[in-house]
């Protein structure tokens, strides 16, 4: 399978766009990669490290003549960026995004997409707690899922072209319905991030009592929470503001479970705790 784009434009030059730039280069998937980020400092760093072939000072210049445009900005910025670049998109181009929420991005971007441009929303299930133009690396997407949520009337040839590119970067592609995506991700990613933020917040409240011992003796459990809680604040603010309903639904269910376990601990109900942990261990063993 050969897939090659003439010009890939990356809007937003952080972890995901940076990793795409490295992966596209490594696999020779584009003749040219152009890039733009809002912050002048980010653009300067991207130029210094040669992240793209050309880093432009405006999004509209960056998308000029591109046959693939990738929106890799925080979810809340997708709509305004799409509105700005829309008149400059080439006819026949594929426009995709990598946002962690899909319904809100489709609502914000969809109305701006000109006729003749194929909008195929997407979400790579890959990331780290790092952000910014230096954080990307070519193997980020290896063996990870990349979900696409194209509207039913999307040109299948365009979907196939984007799928081929994603597969060539090492990821597995699955097509999903946007609302279903948002619910699944609320369980698997969004709610766990919020819980990690609160665990680290609680430890911070206790700082005076524990005199820094939480950090000094942080064992695997808490250490994992702190890694997740170090993720980019802007990105996660936007995720919760835009995937509100699904996240609130999951958090409601989570709170019920937490109260049930809290009660079992209070009542000394070892059987309930043991049964619960046995069920969750079976789930983990089904994953790995």
Tokens 């011992």 map to which residue? 213
Least distance in Å: CB of 145 to ligand NAD? Answer: 11
CA gap 18, 47 in Å, rounded = 12
Q: Is 235 in the site for ligand NAD (CB under 6 A)?
A: yes
CA proximity to 146, closest of 20, 46, 235: 20
The single residue among 34, 96, 103, 131 that binds ligand NAD, judged by CB under 6 A, is 131
Q: Per the structure block, which two tokens stand in for 265?
A: 């601990």
Least distance in Å: CB of 107 to ligand NAD? Answer: 15
Smaller CB distance to ligand NAD: residue 140 or 203?
140
φ, ψ dihedrals at 174, nearest 5°: -135, 140
Q: Is 72 in the site for ligand NAD (CB under 6 A)?
A: yes
Provide the mask over 85-124, with x wherever binding to ligand NAD is found by CB under 6 A and - wherever it is not. Answer: -------------xxx----------------------xx
Least distance in Å: CB of 224 to ligand NAD? Answer: 15
Q: Is 77 in the site for ligand NAD (CB under 6 A)?
A: yes
Smaller CB distance to ligand NAD: residue 195 or 264?
195
Q: How many CB atoms lie within 10 A of CB 286?
A: 7
With beta carbons less than 8 A apart as the criterion, state whether 120 and 95 touch. yes
CA gap 98, 32 in Å, rounded = 20
Q: What is the dihedral of CA 27, 28, 29, 33, to 10 degrees?
A: 120
CA proximity to 145, closest of 162, 125, 168: 125
CB neighbour class for 119 (10 Å; exposed up to 12, middle 13-18, buried from 19): buried
- 140-169 residues in contact with ligand NAD (CB under 6 A) are none
In sequence order, the 6+-apart residues with CB closer than 8 A to the CB of 252 are none
The single residue among 5, 14, 94, 229 that binds ligand NAD, judged by CB under 6 A, is 14
- From the list 23-31, 35-43, 147-155, 255-263, the region that binds ligand NAD by CB under 6 A is 35-43
Q: Is 127 in the site for ligand NAD (CB under 6 A)?
A: yes
- From the list 21-29, 106-114, 128-136, 274-282, the region that binds ligand NAD by CB under 6 A is 128-136
Which residues lie near ligand NAD (CB under 6 A)? Answer: 11-17, 37-39, 42, 72-75, 77, 81, 98-100, 123-124, 127, 131-132, 135, 232, 235
């Amino acid at each position: 399978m050969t897939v090659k784009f003439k010009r890939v434009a990356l809007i937003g030059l952080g972890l995901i766009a940076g990793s795409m730039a490295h992966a596209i280069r490594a696999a020779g998937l584009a003749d040219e990669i152009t890039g733009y980020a809002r912050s002048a400092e980010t653009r300067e760093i991207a130029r210094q490290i040669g992240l793209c072939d050309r880093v432009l000072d405006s999004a509209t210049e960056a998308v000029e003549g591109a046959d693939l445009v990738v929106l890799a900005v925080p979810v809340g910025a997708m709509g305004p960026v799409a509105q700005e670049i829309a008149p400059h998109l080439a006819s026949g181009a594929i426009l995709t995004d990598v946002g962690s929420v899909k319904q809100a991005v489709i609502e914000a971007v969809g109305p701006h997409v000109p006729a003749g441009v194929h909008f195929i929303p997407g979400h790579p299930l890959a990331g780290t707690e790092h952000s910014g133009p230096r954080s990307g690396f070519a193997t980020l997407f290896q063996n990870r899922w990349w979900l696409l949520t194209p509207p039913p009337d999307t040109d299948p040839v365009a979907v196939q072209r984007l799928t081929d590119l994603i597969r060539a970067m090492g990821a597995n592609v699955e097509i999903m319905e946007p609302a279903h995506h948002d619910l699944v991700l609320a369980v698997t990613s969004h709610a766990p991030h919020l819980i990690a933020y609160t665990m680290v917040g609680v430890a911070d409240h206790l700082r005076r009592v524990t005199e820094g011992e939480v950090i000094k003796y942080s064992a695997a459990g808490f250490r994992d929470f702190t890694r997740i809680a170090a993720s980019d604040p802007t990105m996660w603010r936007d995720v919760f503001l835009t995937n509100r309903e699904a996240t609130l639904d999951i958090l409601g269910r989570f709170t019920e479970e937490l109260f049930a376990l809290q009660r079992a601990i209070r009542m000394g109900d070892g059987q309930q705790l043991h049964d619960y942990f046995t069920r969750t261990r079976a789930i983990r063993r089904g994953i790995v």
